[in-house]
Amino acid sequence: MTLHPLSAPPRLEGQVALVTGAAGGIGRATALTLAEAGATVIATDIVDTADYGAAGSGAPNAGGTIHYRRYDVTSAAETEALIADVSETHGGIDILILCAGTISHRPLTEASDDEWQAMLAVNLFGVVNPVRAVFPKMQARGYGKIVALGSIAAKIGGVASGPAYVAAKSAVHGLMKWVAKAGASSGVYASVVAPGPVETPMWQTVTQRAAPSANGNVPLGRYGQPEDIAQAILFLSSPQSNWITGTVLDVNGGMLMD
């Protein structure tokens, strides 16, 4: 069995991180945070461009860089092509962060088959596709950290989201535990960050419905910000967490206390 190194400060110089769903919200904040920690970040999303405060790819941050790539996580073919290109260009992927997601509110009896398929395509297979491509490469190299974005909804049965979203995120939680067990002996870590309500464009669609009150339902008295989640992701993807794998880290302002 691999002897895992002791936990250490969260510096990522010399490491390559691939982030999905990185054009905005939590994904964008995560790409910036990892770059600030020194990583070379391949930031991806389905939109054509993303603004990181500088024109084009290679926008410099404190110690690292961000290179933006358009990528559809639901496409197995695009996944294989992207991973092959990044591996050839940068020598491999050390960190895989899975933030791509979409939300549905429709109740069980109203959600169509197409809506279920769309939720599963992005929220579940948008994790399965990159993990399936990157995981064996990390095993072969003897190191890798994978962090998927889960949700408090998967643990409590939804906040204001519908069953398709809850089911997809619950599957992500289980999948990452499988990956953690399968990868532990070869130096591959896998965990989940499960946010509560975070003020992102996606969350705006929730606040128009029966959303929790920051003062009434969140003990810490405010909604989360993307940076709150990005720092938790940095912890699980950095040497700080070298004795942690297979965990679901709740970052929710105290809404759920396990």
Q: What is the CA radius of gyration of the chain?
A: 17
Give every CB contact of residue 217 below 8 A, 6+ residues apart in sequence. 255
Chain position carrying tokens 């095993």: 139
Give the DSSP per-residue string, 128-161.
Answer: HHHHHHHHHHHHHHT-EEEEEE--THHHHT-SS-
Nearest Cα neighbor of 192 from 123, 106, 115 is 123
Burial of residue 17, with CB atoms counted within 10 A of its CB: 0-12 exposed, 13-18 middle, 19 or more buried: buried
- C-alpha dihedral sign at 52, 54, 59, 61: negative
Select which of 52, 71, 143, 165 is catalytic: 165
- C-alpha dihedral sign at 37, 43, 47, 49: positive
How far does Cα 228 stand from its chain's mean position? 13
Asked if 143 is an active-site residue, the reply is no
Nearest Cα neighbor of 143 from 44, 19, 31, 5 is 5
Distance CA 63, CA 145 (A): 20
- Any idea which residues carry the catalytic annotation? 165
